[in-house]
Each structure stands twice: as C-alpha cells, then as structure tokens.
Structure 1
Amino acid sequence: MSIKIKKAQSTDSPFLAQMILQSSRADKQFGIFDLIFGHQDDKKTLENLEKLIQTKAKNQCHFSNFLIAEIDGEDVGSLCSYEPRISTTKTFLDALDEIGCSDGNKIFLEIQEACDFELNTRTLVFDFMEELEGYMDVGVLKSLMQKSLLTARLKGYRIVQSMVEIGSLETLLYYKKLGFKEVQYKECELYREKFGRTGLVLLALEF
C-alpha cells in the first residue's frame, strides 16, 4: 500500500472541508465551526468550510496550507501546517467576512480570548491532522508529518506546535507517539460550557 503526499489545490476543498469538520468535532457532537456557522446542518456547514478554504485571505484553513495523503488514487488524510505570523486571528476574521459569515466573528473571538494559547510566531503550527476511517495504522499521518517537517526545515523552522483537547486521550497518545511533548495545559470554563471538554493541551516537537 503506497502512500502519495501531494500539495492541496482549491479543487480539493470538498475533501479538506470534510477533514476540517471531522477534526474540529474530535468525537464530539459539534465543534468550533458548528458554532461559527450557527449550528446549521452538515451540508451547509461543509459548504461554508469549502468557501473558507478558498478565500483570498490566507487564513489557517486555506488550501495552500494543506498536504493530502493519497492511496490508490483516493484521498485518505490531511495535514494543515501554517505560520501563525501569517495566518493570524485578523486573517481568519477577514476570511469569515469575505464569505459573508461575520456573525461567527464574535463567537470565535470569545472562545479564543478565553481558551487559546499565546503561540510563538517563530514556530509552525500543525492542525487538522486527520485520516479516513479504514486507513488508520497504515502510516498516513506519519507520512504527512514527515513531508511537512521536511518543508518546514527548509523554511528555517525547528519547532512545531499543535493543540489537542484535554480528554482526547487517543489523539494525545498518537501525538506523543510521533514525538510531541506536552508544554502547557489550559482549562477553560467557557470551553467546557460550549463543547463539554475541560480545555486544551499545547504540544510541541523540536526537529
């Protein structure tokens, strides 16, 4: 089973939207994008995500930040790696305005201000590292990460960070298996109220 890694294109938006939604929910009934887009049905939420992926504003969900894993011609996994000095909070809010979803700005800012970490802008951030059910334990995520780290090294980065929900034990164990270490915990009452999870764990990997 050969895994091919490719850079995402705008035409990959439907698959990327699926992976982003899957990642943001993290085995919960709903995630941050359900809140931002007003708890609409999955079809409408995915349509909004597809638009967000293709905005002129290079937000963290932009297709240019993604790698896709492919097996036998089928897209099976994704990994977003973005530079927080470029894909900023303002860029994300600009992207929401661009697709006509500015109502989600207040919700996003409220959760971020209460629950987010102060990320070092000289590090790279991993997000939306996901794979389709049926392709777990075949090396999809490891292949995506290795390719992304190689590109990051060429850009001069030596540290990558990622965030995982407290209580997502399987995800946390997998990140640790890949070499990530826990850096900081942040418990957040608002996060518990909105998502039923205690808060977030900041992870880092030096490479």
Structure 2
Amino acid sequence: MGISISKASENDAGFLAKMILQSSRAEKKYGIYDLVFNTKTDEDLLSYLEKLIVTETKNHCHFSNFLIANIDSKQVGTLCSYEPRISTHAAFKKSLEEIGFDGDISEYEEILEVCDFEQNNRTLVFDFMEELEGFVDVGILKALMQKSLLTARLKGYRIAQTIVEIGSLEIILLYKKLGFKEVKQKECELYKEKFGRLGLALLEIEF
C-alpha cells in the first residue's frame, strides 16, 4: 500500500473543504469556520469553504498551499503549509469579499486578537494536517510532513510552526513524533467560551 504525495489543484476543492472542516472542529461539534460562516447546515458551510479554497487571493485555505496524500488513487490525507507574510488576515477578508460573503466576522476577529500568537513572518505555518478515518497510522502524515519540510527548505525556511488546541493530546503527540516541540501555551477565556477548550498551544520545529 504505497503512499503518493501530490500538490492540490482547484479540482480538489471538495476534498480539501471536508478536511478543513474536520480539522477545524477537532472532534468538537462547533469549530472556527462554524463561527465565521454561521450556516445552518454543513452543506452550506462546505460550499463556502470550497469557494474560499479557489479564490484569486491567496488566503491560508487556498488550494495552492496544500499537499494531498493518495493511496491506490484514493485521496486520504492533507497538509497545508503557508507563508504568514502572504496569507494574512487581510488576505482572508479579501477572499471573503471575493466569494460574496458579507457576514459579521467580528467574533472571529476578536478571538484572533485575544487568543492567537504573534507569529514571525520568517517561519512557515502548518495547518489542516488530517487523514480520513480508517487510514490512521499508515504513515500518511509523516509522508506529507517530509514532503512539506523539503519544499520549505528549498524556499529558505528553517523553522515551521503550528497551532493546536490545548488538550488535543493525540494531535500534540503526533506532532511531537514528527519532531515538533511545544514552545508556548495561551489559555483564553473567550476561546473556552466559544469552543469549550482552554486555549491554544504553539508547536515548532527546526529543520
């Protein structure tokens, strides 16, 4: 059962949207994109995410940031890596305008301001590291990470970071197995109020 890694394209928007939603909820019923889009159904939410993935503006969810893992021609996992100097919050807001979304994102912005970390623009950010149920522990995420780090090194990066929820023991353990170390935690009452988790942890890897 060989794993192949490919760059995502616009045609992969449907699969990427599902993986983004799965990652953002992190086994919760309500995640950050539920807060942003405030839709009544998952179908509506996935539709917004699919549009966000293919905007002209390169936001952090953009398909060009993604690698996809495949087994026997089946898409089984994703990993996003983006440059924070390019995929800024302003770019995200511009993308929302592009897709015609004019909802109130002030709660999302408040969480970013109060609960997020100040990240260095000279670091690469990893996000949406996910795999399909039934394909856990077959080396998918390790293969995705190895390919992403190789690409990052070619771009001149030597440090990468990721942000996960405090208490997400499995994902934190997985990142540590891949060589990351936890460098900071930020407990946040607003985050706990919205999502039922204490706050966020910053993990980092030098390569």
Give the TM-score band, short-chain normalised.
over 0.9
Q: Is the 8 A contact 1:161 1:202 kept in 2?
A: yes
Alpha-carbon RMSD: 0.8
Question: Counterpart in 1 of 2:62?
Answer: 62
SS of the aligned residue for 2:105 comes to: helix
Look up the equivalent residue of 1:55 and give its one-letter code. T
Question: Counterpart in 2 of 1:83?
Answer: 83
State the TM-score, normalizing by the size of structure 2: 0.98
SS of the aligned residue for 1:85 comes to: coil
SS of the aligned residue for 2:205 comes to: strand
Distance 1:169 1:43 in 2: 29
Look up the equivalent residue of 1:98 and give its one-letter code. E
CA gap of 1:62–1:104, structure 2 versus 1, over 3 A, is farther
1:107: how far off? 2.5
Look up the equivalent residue of 1:188 and give its one-letter code. C
Question: Counterpart in 2 of 1:46?
Answer: 46
What do the CA deviations read for 1:146-185 (whole angstroms, capped 9, x no partner)? 0000000000000000001001111111111111001110
1:104: how far off? 4.2
Look up the equivalent residue of 1:154 and give its one-letter code. L
- Stretch moving more, 100-109 or 50-59: 100-109
Distance 1:104 1:114 in 2: 18
SS of the aligned residue for 1:128 comes to: strand
Question: Counterpart in 2 of 1:197?
Answer: 197
Distance 1:102 1:89 in 2: 15
Q: How does 1:135-154 map to 2 (within 5 A)?
A: 135-154=135-154
Percent sequence identity is 67
Structure 2 unmatched ranges of 5 or more: none
Question: Counterpart in 2 of 1:168?
Answer: 168
Question: Counterpart in 1 of 2:130?
Answer: 130
Question: Counterpart in 1 of 2:17?
Answer: 17
Correspondence 1:114 to 2:114 = yes
Distance 1:109 1:17 in 2: 21
1:102: how far off? 2.9
Correspondence 1:158 to 2:158 = yes
Q: Is the 8 A contact 1:35 1:104 kept in 2?
A: no
- Stretch moving more, 32-41 or 182-191: 32-41
Distance 1:189 1:93 in 2: 25
Q: How many residues align?
A: 207
1:105: how far off? 2.9
Look up the equivalent residue of 2:122 and give its one-letter code. R
State the TM-score, normalizing by the size of structure 1: 0.98
1:97: how far off? 1.5
1:198: how far off? 0.4
Q: How does 1:27-38 map to 2 (within 5 A)?
A: 27-38=27-38
Q: How does 1:87-106 map to 2 (within 5 A)?
A: 87-106=87-106
Distance 1:201 1:140 in 2: 23
Distance 1:58 1:102 in 2: 19
Runs of 4+, deviation exceeding 3 Å? none
SS of the aligned residue for 2:86 comes to: coil
Distance 1:104 1:128 in 2: 24
What do the CA deviations read for 1:8-67 (whole angstroms, capped 9, x no partner)? 000000000000000000000110001111142111100000000011110000000000
CA gap of 1:104–1:11, structure 2 versus 1, over 3 A, is farther
